[in-house]
Structure 1
Amino acid sequence: MNASLALEQTAIEYAEKTAYTFLETSATYGELNESVTRFAASLQSLGLQKGDHIALLLGNSPHFIVALYGAMRAGITVIPVNPVYTPNEITYILKNGDVKAVVLLDLLVPLAESIQEHLPLLAHYIVCESGDERAASYHPIEETPHTKMKAFSKMVGFPQPFTAPDLHEEDTAVILYTSGTTGKPKGAMLTHKNIFSNARDIADYLAISSTDRMITVLPMFHVFCLTVALNAPIVRGAEMVILPAFSPKEVFKAAKEKKATIFAGVPTMYNFLLQLPESDPADFSTVRLCISGGASMPVSLLEQFEKKCNVQISEGYGLSEASPVTAFNPLDKPRKAGSIGCSISNVENRIVDEAGDAVQTGQVGELIVRGPNVMKGYYKMPEETAAAIRDGWLYTGDLARQDEDGYFYIVDRKKDLIIVGGYNVYPREVEEVLYEHDDIIEAAVLGAPDPDYGEAVLAFVVQKGESLTKEDVLRYCKERLVSYKVPASVEFLKELPKNTTGKILRRSLKEQLLNNS
């Protein structure tokens, strides 16, 4: 079984059921499946074959779903790319990924033309119309000298003969380039087995059914959305309420108008929803489940949101290399605030020490995972693959602990550990304290070199007004933290740097520190 076949089965069982709504458009599962097959056939007509690579430079839209599933149906490996990356970042991924075709929004045509000379393998651009007036002047499609450019609408507009390739579960379906904390991003190769098994297992674990309506607002090019808010609903025949971009107001509106039953987001999204002054919690009255992932959610934020909207948040954990989900708070047992829950079906999580041996319950160690969702390796990086996957276990680089009931807790990234005078300080525990302050909206903590103690704790906060002082924050922390965990300094920012999924970027804060020092 693979994701493309799962869509075919869903289309047979729920042919007339709505697969998605997007702005003023919608499609049934029967219509979606037909569009996917037409796109797969069109790719074959361009000369693309099983094993070739195609990149998607798209935002949230039906185009993304059709291109993703159409390519997978044709046996072509998909590389989703963040469309707001810089030209240099996009060029690196397309070149390193040996991409032969790109599906992109018409607004990105000038960018594509500017990097073309660096990409000799690239033979085709498939252009999706945005309706934006700025794109009208490009006239890029199928006109000299743009012979490499085809219209997406034509690719799915006319039926062509499709020859189904012989797909194997270990064939690479998707390559996800990790953002990378150091050096160039690495391409995690996910097989058809990886993609389908994780979608199936998370759908089972969260009891997603054909009666659900999922708000799909997370970026589709990100693995969290790809599995939880796109593939899992398709496997179960649920409806996707697709939003082109995150807006707290539009999320509440969509939840109310579409009677949504599931919302998936990162902690920052929940924070923005919580802070929206004109929000009406009643708009979330049909939502049975909120899902959080992508970063650890502060317990204070979780509790405030649940109280306001009267809905439980189930926090989970995942990483690109694991397709991504490995753990989630169960629905049939108590939810534990601050925990990522238990291992999902068919996936095993373990906490180990530096030697790779299991630690005792409650002790902190590195989280490692294994299961049908773990990648086959990094594209063209055998040494990095060998370092990440050892004896069948994926080493995540995250520090965690497990309680006596089998629930896991992420303590922090291994690389973010701060050592102050020989004592371990986990940034998250300091951040949790800061989030509990009534006048603090967001917080991030990191370590910096210190001549006396090796490292010092630094705090960056966003406050609600302008009443807080650094002394107020330090005094607050001293009342709640042992002395070596108290920040050595506090800096107020108007906002914290985030990536496109809303995850706070400690790395960017470190770069700011280096630039200012």
Structure 2
Amino acid sequence: MELQVISNSKDGSRSAESMRASRSDQEILPRDLVRRTGLNNPNKVAYVCGDRSASWGEMHAKSDRLSAALLANGVAVGDAVGIMAPECIEVYEHFFACMKIGAIRVGVNRRFVDAELRHVFVDSGMKCLFVHASCGELLKNVREDLKSLKILTVGFGGEHDFDVDLEAILDDVVVRPELPPLSGCDPLMYSYTSGTTGSPKGAVLTHRAVTSTILHALAEFGFVRDDRFFLPTGNAWVAVVLAFLGLGNGMTHIIADGDYDRSTFFDIVKDQNATVFLLAPTMLNWALEDNRKTPFDLSSVRLIIYGSSPATPTLIKRVHETFAKDMINVYALTETTWGGVTFLSPEDHRRALTDKPELLKSVGRVASHFEISIRDEDGEPVETGEPGEIWLRGPTIMAHYLNLPEQTEEVLREGWLRTNDVGRLDEDGYVYLLDRQKFMIVSGGVNVYPAAVEAILVKHPGVADVCVVGVPHPEWGEAVVAVVRKDEGHENLAGGDLIEFCRDKLNRPSTPKHFVFVEDDFPRTTNFKVRKKEVQAYVMSDEGGLPWDCSEGAG
């Protein structure tokens, strides 16, 4: 359907499209990149997903239609519009439409349990939720919540029983509306991450931050227009930004047809002539295992990107030796709009593998759009080489945590973001992470907060006290381990009982992979806080009884 364009002048002489084009002196917003990339690369493939594809021109046109449909259904600037879906092209049509009309995109994690879903619906003030047909069963226990909150549900991707169908509302579109005025500081997305209280917390990320992430990431990664970038990331969290970096140069994105599939990933790399791919360290380890059975054809690949969780020097060496490709390691946070903070470049990897091996323990040097400061507990800068908390300042820092003023005040200080990551900076500007967000556990690339797991386990009547720590794991990078002191009368409590208790309360990465039962209280500080490092050391000792060898895991 060809859309008519609403004129915004009295005599109708200037179209909305030309009016948008005339505002070239204003700040560049993501929606400007959608329009320009669509007009400048109309037939260049933007997305490949299974046997489907869409050009940048089509993405611009389709997101225009969806923008009009959203406005026709009462969505306005600042309204939260969610989406719950596996990877598919519609995820990005939805995101681009939100960019255009100033709606706030909310990715809903398919791993969230019912209580977490309800929290996101209420906390975000969600007005509309797009749901892929395959996710219908995941929402079965919260359908009444959606109705009571008056959240319009839009189904797509197959048969469904949601309020309206995506194709139906698009068919009703007959005009392309004039887009509302927006500012770079307006919120574009809420990215929810599990919080220490057990409820997901939403980082408020702006249009300006997303634009900055796109343009700087392209430069730091060295992407070019002809690249074909394959990343199997989940679209519910902030890494979704990586799946539209092509808005800055018109390159092609290859996305999973549904979810990452270990058995087909490298077939897709070959068949789609991917030039760059990104995997978490756990996935790289799987790749090495699979390649030993049937060597992959990586003749089209020029660059391998890894990050999101710690990688051991041994793993990095094995990947480089096996695949003989340039490699980049990247460190980023939700609170930086993903916006890669540090990059260990291909040249850094070559130096590390020849004469400076300690670089493989680094996450690289800070990108040019960030300032970094390593500070002590009083917020004072430390000497070069000394450990401390990483503070960051730059254009991609989040605006705040949604509805959490105290937590926002704790992490945002006079333009600086306190990351809660402990690290050190050497004399050449390389950053070394010493502790991932204090006690946060990164298992298979998924962030797990021990307090959230403890809050669930302590509800079991047989648990008197519990301390959750992360320990190195040869496959998952880190694994969740729970140290439990049993309550009286529950001497027969076993790990299997607690796993069953967690089944509908915690997602799989958060569920402990090992339980250690103790009789004595945990070691504590003078203000009665548990000394988690000592507990972790106990778990990793012979007394901990770990059923795996942790010498090659993350640490």
Structure-2-length-normalised TM-score: 0.74
Matched, 1:52 2:67: no
After TM superposition, give the deviation of residue 111 of structure 1 in Å.
Answer: 4.8
Q: CA deviation at 1:443?
A: 5.5
2:225 to 182, 185, 210: 210
Write the letter of the residue equivalent to 2:80.
H
Counterpart in the other structure of 1:290: 304
> Residues 13-92 of structure 1: matches in 2 within 5 Å?
13-92=40-119
1:103 aligns with 2:126: no
The Cα shift of 1:280 comes to 4.7
**1:234 aligned residue (244, 247, 254):** 247
Contact 2:155 2:166 in 1 (8 A): yes
- Mapping of 1:356-395 within 5 angstroms? 356-395=379-418
Aligned counterpart for 1:457 among listed residues 533, 536, 543? 536
Aligned residue type for 2:416: W
Deviation at 1:275, TM superposition (A): 1.5
Q: How does 1:488-503 map to 2 (within 5 A)?
A: 488-492=543-547
CA distance in 1, matches of 2:302, 2:76: 43
1:338 aligns with 2:361: yes
The question of whether the paired residues in 1 share the 8 Å contact of 2:85 and 2:135 is answered with no
Indicate how the Cα distance of structure 1 residues 13 and 304 shifts in structure 2: closer, same or farther if over 3 A, else same: same
Structural RMSD (CA): 2.9
Matches of 2:535 and 2:334, distance apart in 1: 31
Deviation at 1:160, TM superposition (A): 3.1
Instruction: Please tell me the residue identity of whatever aligns with 1:350.
Output: S
Alpha-carbon distance in structure 2 between the residues aligned to 1:310 and 1:401? 30
- For 2:182, the equivalent position in structure 1 comes to 167
3-state SS, counterpart of residue 276 of structure 1: helix
Deviation of the 1:161 alpha carbon: 2.7
Q: How far, CA to CA, are the matches of 1:347 and 1:127 in structure 2?
A: 40
Q: How far is 1:62 from its partner?
A: 0.4
Structure 2 letter corresponding to 1:126: V
Q: Check conservation: 1:366, 1:414, Cα contact below 8 A.
A: no
Letter of the 1:154 partner, please give it. Answer: A
Residues 1:123 and 1:505: Cα distance change in structure 2 (over 3 Å): farther
Residue 447 (structure 1) shift: 9.2
**For residue 444 of structure 2, what is the aligned residue in structure 1?**
none
Cα 1:447/1:353, change in 2 over 3 Å: farther
Cα contact 2:327–2:345 (8 A) shared by 1: no
**Equivalent in the alignment of 1:246:** 260
Partner SS for 1:457: helix
Look up the match of 1:311: 325
Quote the Cα distance in structure 2 between the aligned partners of 1:441 and 1:245: 18
Q: 1:305 to 1:156 in 2, by over 3 A?
A: farther
Tell me the number of residue pairs that the alignment of Structure 1 and Structure 2 aligns. Answer: 443
Shift of 1:249: 2.7
Query: 1:349 maps to which residue?
Result: 372
Distance 1:412 1:34, change over 3 A: same
Task: State the Cα distance separating 1:180 from its structure 2 match.
Answer: 1.7
Give a deviation string over 1:451-477, Cα, whole Å, max 9, x none: 5996243588xxxxxxxxxxxxxxxxx
2:419 and 2:437 in contact (8 A); partners too: no
Three-state SS of the structure 2 residue aligned to 1:19 is strand
Q: Is the 8 A contact 2:129 2:153 kept in 1?
A: yes
Kindly provide the amino acid, as one letter, of the partner of residue 361 in structure 2.
G
Cα contact 2:193–2:237 (8 A) shared by 1 = no
How far the C-alpha of 1:487 sits from its partner, in A, is: 6.0
Q: Could you say which residue in structure 2 is the equivalent of 1:422? A: none
Q: Distance in 2 between matches of 1:444 and 1:128?
A: 36
* 1:441 CA drift (Å): 8.0
Per-residue deviation, 1:446: 6.8
Question: Aligned AA for 1:241?
Answer: I
Could you say which residue in structure 1 is the equivalent of 2:34?
Answer: 7
On the 8 A contact 1:56/1:81 being kept in 2, the answer is yes
Structure 2 letter corresponding to 1:457: Q
2:156 corresponds to: 128
Cα drift, residue 94 of structure 1: 0.8
Structure 1 runs not aligned, ≥5 long: 131-135, 142-148, 419-426, 461-484, 496-503, 507-517
Q: Residue 308 of structure 1 aligns to a residue in which SS?
A: helix
| Structure 2 counterpart SS, 1:248 | coil
Counterpart-to-counterpart distance in 2, 1:210 and 1:459: 51
Q: Offset of 1:486 from its aligned partner?
A: 5.5
Q: 2:430 aligns with which of 407, 424, 429?
A: 407
Check whether the contact 1:346–1:372 (CA below 8 A) recurs between aligned residues. Answer: yes
For residues 275 and 4 of structure 1, the distance between their equivalents in structure 2, rounded to whole angstroms, comes to 42
1:331 Cα deviation after fit: 4.7
Contact 1:252–1:279 under 8 Å retained in 2: no
Cα pair 2:309 2:477 within 8 Å, conserved: no
Task: Quote the residue 2:144 is aligned against.
Answer: 117
Deviates further, 21-30 or 441-450: 441-450
Question: Which residue identity does 1:252 align to in structure 2?
Answer: F
SS at match of 1:214: strand
Change beyond 3 A, Cα 1:282–1:379: same
The alpha-carbon distance between structure 1 residues 366 and 165, as it changes in their structure 2 partners (threshold 3 A), is same
Corresponding residue of 2:421: 398
Local SS of the residue matching 1:316: strand
8 Å contact from structure 1 (residues 362, 402) kept in 2: yes
User: Distance in 1 between the 2:536 and 2:142 partners?
Assistant: 42
Aligned partners of 2:478, 2:139: CA distance in 1, in Å? 37
**Whole-angstrom distance in 2 between the partners of 1:320 and 1:272:** 25
State how far apart, in whole Å, the 1-side matches of 2:523 and 2:206 are: 48
Deviation at 1:99, TM superposition (A): 0.2
Task: Give the AA of the match of 1:70.
Answer: A
Counterpart-to-counterpart distance in 2, 1:296 and 1:175: 25
1:365 CA drift (Å): 0.7
Q: Is the 8 Å Cα contact of residues 35 and 156 (structure 1) preserved in structure 2?
A: no
Distance in 2 of aligned mates of 1:280 and 1:459: 40
In structure 2, what is the Cα distance between the partners aligned to 1:486 and 1:110? 43
Tell me the amino acid that sits aligned with residue 386 of structure 1: E
Q: Which sections of structure 2, spanning at least 5 residues, go unmatched?
A: 1-27, 353-358, 442-468, 484-520, 526-530
Kindly provide the CA deviation profile for residues 45-72 of structure 1, in whole angstroms up to 9, marking residues without a partner as x.
1011111111111111101101111112
The aligned counterpart of 1:499 is: none
* AA aligned opposite 2:150: L
1:191-231 CA-partner distances (Å, limit 9, x unpaired): 0011110121111111111110011211122212x122x12
Q: 1:441 to 1:398 in 2, by over 3 A?
A: closer
Q: Deviations along 1:10-49, whole A, 9 cap, x unmatched?
A: 1122111111111111111101110111111100010111
Go from structure 1 to structure 2 and tell me whether the alpha carbon gap of 1:207 and 1:73 turns closer, same or farther (over 3 Å shift).
same
Deviation at 1:344, TM superposition (A): 1.2
Q: Is the 8 A contact 1:458 1:490 kept in 2?
A: no
Q: Which residue of 134, 145, 153 maps to 2:167?
A: 153
Partner of 2:285: 271
**3-state SS, counterpart of residue 240 of structure 1:** strand
Q: 1:452 and 1:73, CA in 2 relative to 1: closer, same or farther beyond 3 A?
A: closer
- 1:236 Cα deviation from its structure 2 partner: 1.6
Please name the residue that 1:509 is paired with: none
Q: Which amino acid aligns with 2:104?
A: T
